[in-house]
């Protein structure tokens, strides 16, 4: 098994461990198989073969490498220093053999998705041995020979994603020296078309530069000179340039530019003419009888021609390398004593999504190898059993010879393929048609025709069915170049290329087969790839049959190539594919372990006593197995060997190990005993002396420790006191600091608020001042203008007047006097203004100094505030959170307190109101009693008739109310809770915790019962012949013996009528309500009363009466519940039936242990109760099945609208397609549809009803789980049958609806019911997942693992692309169809709705005592009398 990690289990040390050791002595290993082949070749003188098989990535190449290294190391250890000097160098033949591995891997291996070093060809290496001259019992390696099979030529021109071309090209691009790189035109790998198609140029764990050096070293080791090596690399570089030749399309014809750099470089490296090379790439020559026609090729034909040339050259180069290696390794001195061990490293069975001609040839080879392996295993096993003459029956095995005959026989697949390949008009379509006509009959069971398409065929291989695509079969089978291209290569100036492409002429056959009539002759027909592979495979089989084969099966533990990860299903598939399981089956059917008598006796002789040791190994072997193995058919004694069944040899090894352990233990015991006995005596003497000294030391130490303890206690007391004081002081300081910081924060916050308020006021005042000032200046300017105009006017008038007055002298003198006075006033005013100015300057200076000091103080305060704020911010953060949480808690508590106060006030009002009504009712009842007491004893006929009518009317009303329809809608519930209570305002004497509706209903029935009793009493006094007295009067006035009274009470027919009519048929069942819930006694009192009556009947040995009463009770319960008109009736009696079964079981457990004679009586109490229990189970099953069936009818019209069609998410509303669906959608949009909320309400009401009636949890869980199963199955089946409906938005809506159902299940404690919704949920997920590529289909199959391929195929076929979504491509649908094709017969499309699980009866609970409770609102006089009788006689078994 490939661990995908290098492990130290293949070292030379390990090789030496396995050298010369039998295979069964050590653990299974590659070296054990190699050693066995090596020894058998020497001892038996027979050639050996080691077949290494397994799938890609399983480690075949590495295993073959280790096997070859083992042979080389073993040979070196046997003959140190021996070297091969035949060619004049000092390289040993062992090194040459090992050096072939890096060469073949460089030119034949590549990176694939499954393996980073996958062999793309098969090889068979024959390692040749000869006897040593001086030691005839040992051999040495003298040579080797390599044969190759089916090199994957197509990988040269095409690689899938994440895969590489052959390693040699990447090594050349990475490690070529600068000079050679320039000469060969080599660049990085991504510049070449043949290398960059897989988009991967690096393999994990592989250094191309280092590997190139190893490859060159290996080529030098096998004798390829350095010049020849660079000739090989020159051809490889030319192939890369051929891939870069650009071929374009010009009007349907191919065209290549004459100056194409890749064309010129490739022609230069190959030594051919570029024009000639270009000509035969874009043209082709057709040879007729009389002439040769050169025709233009299209672009596809030209590209095919280019790739064919490249593949041909590389294939011939690969064959040349193998030929050169064989020339170097072949022994020149072979003798008749030469023997070889062949190591076959061939590709394993391959099965991909797309399988072509390469996979067909590989699987054909594996078919041949599997046939040889199976025949070899059966032949060896059965021949050995026959030779040893042991009892053995031959086993038939699965023979795959018909499959091989279908492939390789005349007119087989290969024959038809070659025939079609040789036809000028041969095509893949005509080939597949011939396959269908030839093999599509009943005679060929290993061939199948696919259901869809005409381009595939299926072959049933031994491992599995493989579907092959016919495209490219003929082209790959031909895989040749034209004669013109071959001639061009043979005429190359490059001598090494001519040597490589030279084809050796085939030897003429002795008797060639006659040609077909009308054929022109087949002597010049080129062999096809299939015929070549078939011939080489036949030679390989002949070689393997002539050798003794050994098999190594390589297993790939996981597909991710992760180290030490094991995928069980993957490994099991590989074991089935390589036939290991069939081999194990054969071995287990026979005797897989065997040994010769001498080996067995020498290995296990000490298992028996020495007195039984015999010289005859067979006799001693028989003694050993008879002593150690107990049992028959565990071993068989043959002529020379003993055979064991599987596991017996391991058992003998276990006994042998135990015997070894026992012997060794016995010897060790005595030796150790003697040693320790002498040691003990010395130690005892020393110990006594040491103890004496130690005890004195311990006493002194104890005294010292006591003193230290007393001192330590005193020190601890002082230290703890100091620590406590210090801690208290620290807490006190911290508290004060917190308070100080908090107060500082409060003060700073208040100061900041005041500061901001003052700043706001200042800004407001400044702004208002600015607005007022601006308005003032505007008005002032206007006033000044007006004043100026007015003054100008006045001045003009004065000017005119002054002009007139100026002409007089008196006027001038008066003016002069006025001006002098004015000057004097102005001088005095100027002096006063100067004084005022000086005072103002001094004031301004003072204010500026004060302002500077205040600014400095403010700056200091601001800096101090910022530093203190950053320090206190962290300290006060926690306090803020606590304060906020406390304030929120306070507000919540205040609200809750107010709410509770309101509820208390409301409750007090209700209590007061009810007390008032109760008092009124009591007074009314008292009044009725007084009227009855004062009523006359004789009534006339009219009164009697009136009372009769009143009684009949009351009984009719009671019957209607008891048998009334229960409806779950809110209108009926409101009527029951409000209107009915208002119409019957009588107080209920029942428990305080009952609902208002229940109290009113009970008061009504109590009043009706009182009126009925009063009427019956009056009728009894009036006329005893007209009205029959109440049964309770008869029971009370009975003067019979006390011992017979209970029996007659129980046998009375009136008691049965009362149980059937009052307790079952006309019982008023408490309605389910969320406000108040009835107690268990109020729900289960019918079951307890019936159980009590049955117990009384059983106690008085009234078995027949008990059976009769029980049958009538069960029949009445079935009649009441099987109508299924009201869910609460079914729930009530379903719960009471289970409670009655529990009461019966408890009564059965309390029965006294009967005697032997009593146990034989069929009418015993235990047998009767067992029969009763069976009848109750049958009734429970009828109620469950009928009720569930009724629920299914109700859900039938609700599931699809609520789960599938309901669109609760507004952002994902689906717009339906046109046609009939659109018309139907328009019509249905006006009608009412069910929603998911209505469905959940239905389930919630049902769950509430079952909880109100205290139904057993397992019973309610089964009902709800079954309903959810019906919902999931119905919705899933409807989704599969709905066309033009499956969109991704619909998937989102369905996922949301299913999640609502899952939330409901989780909330109601039935999480396991969600399992029934998983298939619907995965179908919805399938609609929402991406569906654009093949990987998306794989993801869908992984996510939707509960859906079978047929269901996935159906959903994808119904998928409707809408709202920016693209439709599914035909390729994806074809992939899904292929995966579903193999399981369509076994897969079911629709889920089975009727396969409901069986009802599981719950285990009856233990009822400690029967409740003899009768509600006040029901009148049961006979049952009450029976209960009273049991109280008077407490010795009754049913008394509580």
Active site residues: 56-57, 61, 115, 118-119, 348, 350
What torsion, rounded to 10 degrees, do the Cα atoms 312, 317, 322, 323 define?
Answer: 100
Residue that the structure tokens 């699965």 belong to: 398
The conformation of residue 250, written as its DSSP 8-state character, comes to E
Q: Compute the distance between CA of residue 896 and CA of residue 885 in angstroms, rounded to an integer.
A: 16
Q: Phi and psi dihedrals of 645, rounded to 5?
A: -70, 170
Which three-class secondary structure state does DSSP give residue 1360?
A: coil
Six token digits for residue 828: 């005095």
Whose CA is closest to 150, among 114, 119, 182, 116? 119
| Nearby residues of 97 by Cβ (< 8 Å), 6 or more positions away | 68, 71, 72, 125, 127, 141, 144, 329
- Taking every pair of Cα atoms in the chain, the longest distance, rounded to a whole number of angstroms, is 188
d(CA 176, CA 237): 11
The count of residues in the chain is: 1440
- Return the residue matching tokens 């629920």: 1191
| Residue located via tokens 């030749």 | 245
Q: What letter does residue 131 receive in the DSSP assignment?
A: E
* Rounded-to-integer distance, Cα 461 and Cα 413, Å: 14
d(CA 1092, CA 1098) in angstroms, rounded, equals 10
User: DSSP E strands: which ranges in 1115-1249?
Assistant: none
Pick left, alpha or beta for residue 1119 (phi over 0 → left; psi -120 to 50 → alpha; otherwise beta). Answer: alpha
Number of neighbours of residue 157 by Cβ within 10 angstroms: 21
- The total of other beta-carbon atoms located within 10 Å of residue 37's CB is 24
Radius of gyration of the chain (CA): 55
Q: Of 397, 490, 413, 400, nearest to 445 (Cα)? A: 400
Whole-number Å distance between alpha carbons of 326 and 437: 45
What's the rounded Cα separation, in Å, for the pair 1136 and 1130?
A: 10
Query: What gap in Å lies between CA 159 and CA 982, rounded to an integer?
Result: 89
- 195 neighbors 189 (Cβ within 8 angstroms): yes
In degrees and rounded to multiples of 5, residue 1375 shows phi and psi of -60, -45
| Alpha helices for 1150-1219 (secondary structure H) | 1156-1159, 1165-1196, 1199
By the 8 A CB rule, do 195 and 240 touch? Answer: yes
- Both structure tokens of 509: 């056959």
Say which residue the tokens 């075949």 belong to: 60
Nearest to 343 by CA among 92, 53, 59: 53
CA 455/CA 467 separation, integer angstroms: 10
Handedness of CA 863, 865, 868, 871 (dihedral sign): negative
1257-1264: Cβ within 8 A, 24+ apart: 1258/1400, 1258/1402, 1259/1134, 1259/1135, 1259/1138, 1259/1184, 1259/1402, 1261/1309, 1261/1310, 1261/1313, 1262/1184, 1262/1397, 1262/1399, 1262/1400, 1263/1184, 1263/1187, 1263/1188, 1263/1191, 1264/1308, 1264/1310, 1264/1313
- Contact (CB, 8 A) for 1421 and 1033: no
Contact 1313, 1264 (CB under 8 A): yes
Q: How far apart (Å, rounded) are the C-alpha atoms in residues 950 and 1099?
A: 41
Measured from the Cβ of residue 11, the count of other Cβ atoms closer than 10 Å reads 10
Measured from the Cβ of residue 247, the count of other Cβ atoms closer than 10 Å reads: 22
Give the list of residues 6+ apart from residue 1295 with CB closer than 8 angstroms, or none. 1321, 1324, 1325, 1328
């Amino acid at each position: 098994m490939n661990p995908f990690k290098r492990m130290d289990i293949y070292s030379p040390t390990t090789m030496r461990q396995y050298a010369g050791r039998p295979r069964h002595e050590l653990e299974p290993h590659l070296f054990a198989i190699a050693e066995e082949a090596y020894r058998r070749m020497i001892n038996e003188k027979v050639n050996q073969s080691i077949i290494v098989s397994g799938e890609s990535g399983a480690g075949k190449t590495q295993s073959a490498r280790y096997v070859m290294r083992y042979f080389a190391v073993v040979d070196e250890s046997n003959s140190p220093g021996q070297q091969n000097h035949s060619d004049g160098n000092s390289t040993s033949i062992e090194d040459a053999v090992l050096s072939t591995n890096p060469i073949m891997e460089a030119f034949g291996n590549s990176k694939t998705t499954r393996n980073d070093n996958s062999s793309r060809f098969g090889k068979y290496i024959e390692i040749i041995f000869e006897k040593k001259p001086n030691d005839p019992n040992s051999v040495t390696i003298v040579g080797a020979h390599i044969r190759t099979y089916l090199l994957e030529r197509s990988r040269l021109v095409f690689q899938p994603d994440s895969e590489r071309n052959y390693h040699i090209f990447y090594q050349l691009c990475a490690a070529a020296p600068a000079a050679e790189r320039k000469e060969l035109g080599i660049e990085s790998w991504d510049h070449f078309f043949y290398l960059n198609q897989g988009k991967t140029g690096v393999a994990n764990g592989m250094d191309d530069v280092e590997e190139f050096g190893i490859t060159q070293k290996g080529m030098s080791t096998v004798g390829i000179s350095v010049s020849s090596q660079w000739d090989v690399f020159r051809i490889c570089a030319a192939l890369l340039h051929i891939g870069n030749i650009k071929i374009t399309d010009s009007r349907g014809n191919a065209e290549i530019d004459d100056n194409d750099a890749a064309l010129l470089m490739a022609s230069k490296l190959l030594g051919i003419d570029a024009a000639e090379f270009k000509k035969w790439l874009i043209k082709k020559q057709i040879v007729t009888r009389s002439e040769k026609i050169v025709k233009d090729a299209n672009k596809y034909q030209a590209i095919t021609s280019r790739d064919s040339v490249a593949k041909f050259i590389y294939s011939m180069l690969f064959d040349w390398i193998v030929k050169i290696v064989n020339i170097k390794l072949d022994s020149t001195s072979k003798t008749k004593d030469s023997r070889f061990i062949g190591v076959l490293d061939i590709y394993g069975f391959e099965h991909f999504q797309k399988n072509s001609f390469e996979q067909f040839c590989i699987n054909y080879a594996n078919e041949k190898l599997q046939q040889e392996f199976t025949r070899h295993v059966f032949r060896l096993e059965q021949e050995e059993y026959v030779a040893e003459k042991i009892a053995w029956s031959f086993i038939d095995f699965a023979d795959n010879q018909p499959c091989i005959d279908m492939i390789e026989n005349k007119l087989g697949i290969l024959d038809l393929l070659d025939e079609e390949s040789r036809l000028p008009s041969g095509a893949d379509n005509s080939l597949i048609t011939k396959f269908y006509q030839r093999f599509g009959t009943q005679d060929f069971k290993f061939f199948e025709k696919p259901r869809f398409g005409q381009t595939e065929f299926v072959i049933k291989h031994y491992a599995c069915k493989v579907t092959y695509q016919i495209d490219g079969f003929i082209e790959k089978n031909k895989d040749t170049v034209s004669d013109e291209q071959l001639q061009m290569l043979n005429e190359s100036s490059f001598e090494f290329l001519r040597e490589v492409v030279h084809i050796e002429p085939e030897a003429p056959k002795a008797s060639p087969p006659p040609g077909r009539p009308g054929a022109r002759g087949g002597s010049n027909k080129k062999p096809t790839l299939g015929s070549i592979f078939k011939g080489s495979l036949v030679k390989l089989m002949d070689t393997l049959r002539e050798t003794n084969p050994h098999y190594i099966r390589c297993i790939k533990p996981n597909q991710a190539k992760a180290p030490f990860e094991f995928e069980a299903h993957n490994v099991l598939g590989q074991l089935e594919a390589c036939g290991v399981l069939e081999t194990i089956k054969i071995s287990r059917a026979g005797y897989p372990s065997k040994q010769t008598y001498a080996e067995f006796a020498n290995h296990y002789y000490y298992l028996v006593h020495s007195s039984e040791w015999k010289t005859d190994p067979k006799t001693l072997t028989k003694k050993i197995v008879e002593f150690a193995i107990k049992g028959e058919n565990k071993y068989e004694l043959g002529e020379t060997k003993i055979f064991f069944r599987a596991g017996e040899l391991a058992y003998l090894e276990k006994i042998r190990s135990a015997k070894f352990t026992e012997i060794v233990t016995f010897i060790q015991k005595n030796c150790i005993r003697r040693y320790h006995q002498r040691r003990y005596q010395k130690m005892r003497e020393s110990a006594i002396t040491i103890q004496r000294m130690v005890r004195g030391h311990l006493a002194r130490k104890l005294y010292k420790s006591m003193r230290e303890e007393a001192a330590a206690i005193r020190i601890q007391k002082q230290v703890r006191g100091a620590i406590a004081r210090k801690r208290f002081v620290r807490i006190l300081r911290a508290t004060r600091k917190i308070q100080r910081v908090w107060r500082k924060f409060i003060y700073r916050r208040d100061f900041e608020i005041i500061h901001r308020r003052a700043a706001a006021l200042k800004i407001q005042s400044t702004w208002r001042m600015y607005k007022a000032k601006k308005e003032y200046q505007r008005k002032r300017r206007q006033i000044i203008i007006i004043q100026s105009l007015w003054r100008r006017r006045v001045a003009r008038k004065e000017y005119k007047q002054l002009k007139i007055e100026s002409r007089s002298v008196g006027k001038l003198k008066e003016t002069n006097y006025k001006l002098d006075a004015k000057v004097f006033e102005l001088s005095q005013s100027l002096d006063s203004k100067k004084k005022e100015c000086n005072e103002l300057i001094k004031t301004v200076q003072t204010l500026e100094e004060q302002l500077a000091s205040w600014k400095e103080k403010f700056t200091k305060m601001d800096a101090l505030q910022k530093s203190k704020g950053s320090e206190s911010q962290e300290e006060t953060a926690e306090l803020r959170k606590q304060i906020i949480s406390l304030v929120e808690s306070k507000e919540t508590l205040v609200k809750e307190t107010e709410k509770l106060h309101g509820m208390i006030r409301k409750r007090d009002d209700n209590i007061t109101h009810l007390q008032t009504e109760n008092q009124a009712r009591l007074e009314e009842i008292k009044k009725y009693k007084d009227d009855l007491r004062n009523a006359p004893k004789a009534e006339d006929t009219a009164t009697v008739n009136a009372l009769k009518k009143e009684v009949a009317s009351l009984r009719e009303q009671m019957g209607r109310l008891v048998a009334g329809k229960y409806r779950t809608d809110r209108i009926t519930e409101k009527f029951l809770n409000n209107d009915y209570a208002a119409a019957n305002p009588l107080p209920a004497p029942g428990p305080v915790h009952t609902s208002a509706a229940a109290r009113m209903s009970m008061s009504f029935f109590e009043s009706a019962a009182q009126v009925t009793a009063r009427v019956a009493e009056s009728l009894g006094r009036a006329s005893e012949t007209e009205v029959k007295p109440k049964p309770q009067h008869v029971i009370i006035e009975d003067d019979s013996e006390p011992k017979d009274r209970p029996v007659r009470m129980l046998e009375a027919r009136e008691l049965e009528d009362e149980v059937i009519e009052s307790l079952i048929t006309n019982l008023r069942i408490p309605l389910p309500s969320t406000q108040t819930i009835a107690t268990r006694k109020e729900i289960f009192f019918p079951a307890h009363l019936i159980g009590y009556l049955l117990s009384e009947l059983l106690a008085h040995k009234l078995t027949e009466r008990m059976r009769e009463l029980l049958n009538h009770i069960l029949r009445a319960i079935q009649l009441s519940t099987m109508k299924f008109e009201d869910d609460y009736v079914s729930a009530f009696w379903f719960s009471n039936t289970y409670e009655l079964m529990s009461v019966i079981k408890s009564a059965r457990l309390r029965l006294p242990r009967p005697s032997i004679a009593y146990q034989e009586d069929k009418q015993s109490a235990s047998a009767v109760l067992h029969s009763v229990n069976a009848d109750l189970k049958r009734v429970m099953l009828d109620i469950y099945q009928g009720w569930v069936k009724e629920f299914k009818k109700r859900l039938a019209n609700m599931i699809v609208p609520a789960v599938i069609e309901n669109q609760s998410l507004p952002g994902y509303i689906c717009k339906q397609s046109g046609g009939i669906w659109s018309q139907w959608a328009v019509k249905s949009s006006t009608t009412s549809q069910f929603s998911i909320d209505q469905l959940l309400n239905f389930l919630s009401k049902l769950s509430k009803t079952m909880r109100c009636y205290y139904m057993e949890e397992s019973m309610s869980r089964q009902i709800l789980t079954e309903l959810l199963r019906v919902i999931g199955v119905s919705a899933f089946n409807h989704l599969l049958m709905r066309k033009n409906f499956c969109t991704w938005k619909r998937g989102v809506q369905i996922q949301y609806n299913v999640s609502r159902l899952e939330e409901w299940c989780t909330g109601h404690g039935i999480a396991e019911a969600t399992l029934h919704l998983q298939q619907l949920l995965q179908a919805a997920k399938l609609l929402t997942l991406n569906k654009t590529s093949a990987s998306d289909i794989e993801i869908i199959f992984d996510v939707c693992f509960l859906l079978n391929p047929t269901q996935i195929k159906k959903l994808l076929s119904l998928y409707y692309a809408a709202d920016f979504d693209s439709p599914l491509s035909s390729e994806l649908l074809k992939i899904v169809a292929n995966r579903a094709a193999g399981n369509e017969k076994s897969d079911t499309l629709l889920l089975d709705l009727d396969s409901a699980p069986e009802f599981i009866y719950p285990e009856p609970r233990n009822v400690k005592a029967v409740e003899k409770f009768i509600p006040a609102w029901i009148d049961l006089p006979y049952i009450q009398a029976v209960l009273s009788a049991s109280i008077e006689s407490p010795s009754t078994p049913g008394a509580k």
